[in-house]
């Protein structure tokens, strides 16, 4: 009882649409091809599947009896085909990630390295960006993943907490007379070299704070602080792995930065993007 999937699909589609002609349009072939495949299947099975009434088709009792199984087989084949294609897809494709340099260097480098070693055919495009730029790129569907400092709500997107890290004060050595954590109120008269992300927090907590400049470049911030242009409030992640001669202090009342990973729903991601998401 030998038959191929094209015959099963011709039978199932003809039964669903009630016509060889409409089935042919759906399957992208000629009416005679569909008719011939169904006739061949009937010969293989030695069953009559349809009553032919002009151009209309009506299932026989035998046809009704096997339709569900044939339909299940076609759907199983489609699932198998998609699975095979997904496995093959990891040999090619690309993903795009928008994130600040600190996230790229300190949180993504290792998982990216492991992912690329496992899937050398997948191209990884990293767009170092400010958080505002990352959000804009995600909203424009220009990247697969974006890292933002707040929960991002938009239709078709998923946003999950990726990491929380503490905000710290960075100052030149000897700037603070007393050791230990710094009370927020003691910073009212300080001059700040502000990080793009933490500037809104400064404005909220220290309404009369003096901000000399605002930048998203951590290296520039540290250099300006070391040069005596002011102090700064930075996520502790930005200082990881760095060899700084600056004085790094916690706030007396701890403050935290939340980092969120944003991407489209998993069903809308490419095979490569789904694989990378699973690797994080």
Query: Any idea what the Cα angle at residue 182 is, between residues 180 and 183, rounded to 5°?
Result: 135
Q: What is the bridge-based pairing of β-strands 210-215 and 191-195?
A: parallel
Q: What pTM value is reported for the model? A: 0.62
| Ranges of residues in the chain whose predicted pLDDT is under 50 | 1-2
Architecture of the domain made up of 5-89 = Orthogonal Bundle (1.10)
The neighbour count for residue 42, using CB atoms within 10 Å, is 18
pLDDT of residue 8: 95
pLDDT, mean over the chain: 87
Q: Which residues of 130-157 are buried (b: 16+ CB within 10 A; e: fewer)?
A: ebeebbebbeeeebbbbbbbeebeeeeb
Strand partners, 211: 192
The neighbour count for residue 44, using CB atoms within 10 Å, is 13
5-89 and 94-158+259-279 have identical folds = no
pLDDT of residue 71: 96
pLDDT of residue 210: 81
pLDDT digits 0-9 by tens, 48-80:
999 998 889 999 999 999 999 999 999 998 888
Instruction: Please state, in angstroms and rounded to a whole number, the distance separating the CA atoms of residues 273 and 264.
Output: 10
pLDDT of residue 18: 95
Instruction: Please state, in angstroms and rounded to a whole number, the distance separating the CA atoms of residues 88 and 119.
Output: 11
* CATH code reported for the domain at 94-158+259-279: 3.40.190.10
Sketch the domain layout of the chain as residue ranges.
5-89, 94-158+259-279, 164-258
pLDDT of residue 23: 93
* Widest CA span in the chain: 98
CATH superfamily of 164-258: Periplasmic binding protein-like II (3.40.190.10)
pLDDT of residue 255: 86
pLDDT of residue 80: 85
Residue 178 region, left (φ>0) first, then alpha (ψ -120 to 50), else beta?
A: beta
- Per-residue HEC secondary structure of the chain comes to CCCCHHHHHHHHHHHHHCCHHHHHHHHCCCHHHHHHHHHHHHHHHCCCCEEEECCEEEECHHHHHHHHHHHHHHHHHHHHHHHHHHHHHCCCCEEEEEECHHHHHHHHHHHHHHHHHHCCCCEEEEEECCHHHHHHHHHCCCCCEEEECCCCCCCCEEEEEEEEEEEEEEECCCCCCCCCCECHHHHCCCEEEEECCCHHHHHHHCCCCEEEEEECCHHHHHHHHHCCCCEEEEEHHHHCCCCCCCEEEEECCCCEEEEEEEEECHHHCCHHHHHHHHHC
């Amino acid at each position: 009882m030998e038959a191929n999937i094209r015959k099963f699909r011709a039978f199932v589609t003809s039964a669903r649409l009630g016509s060889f002609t409409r089935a042919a349009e759906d399957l992208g072939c000629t009416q005679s091809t569909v008719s011939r495949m169904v006739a061949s299947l009937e010969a293989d099975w030695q069953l009559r599947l349809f009553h032919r009434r002009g151009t209309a088709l009506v299932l026989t009792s035998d046809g009704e009896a096997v339709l569900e199984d044939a339909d299940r087989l076609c759907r199983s084949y489609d699932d198998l085909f998609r699975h095979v294609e997904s496995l093959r897809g990891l040999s090619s494709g690309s993903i795009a990630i928008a994130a600040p340099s600190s996230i790229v260097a300190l949180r993504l480098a290792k998982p990216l390295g492991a992912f690329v070693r496992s899937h050398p055919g997948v191209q990884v495009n990293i767009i170092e960006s400010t958080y505002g730029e990352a959000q804009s790129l995600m909203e424009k569907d220009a990247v697969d993943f974006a890292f933002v400092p707040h929960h991002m709500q938009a239709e078709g997107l998923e946003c999950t907490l990726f990491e929380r890290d503490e905000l710290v004060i960075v100052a030149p050595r000897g700037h603070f007379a007393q050791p230990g954590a710094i009370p927020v109120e003691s910073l009212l008269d300080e001059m700040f070299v502000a990080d793009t992300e933490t500037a809104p927090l400064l404005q909220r907590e220290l309404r009369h704070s003096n901000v000399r400049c605002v930048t998203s470049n951590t290296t520039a911030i540290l250099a300006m602080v070391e040069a005596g242009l002011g102090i700064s409030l930075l996520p502790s992640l930005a200082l990881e792995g760095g060899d700084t001669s600056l004085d790094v202090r916690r706030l007396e009342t701890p403050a935290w930065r939340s980092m969120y990973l944003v991407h489209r729903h998993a069903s809308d991601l490419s095979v490569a993007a789904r694989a990378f998401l699973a690797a994080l």
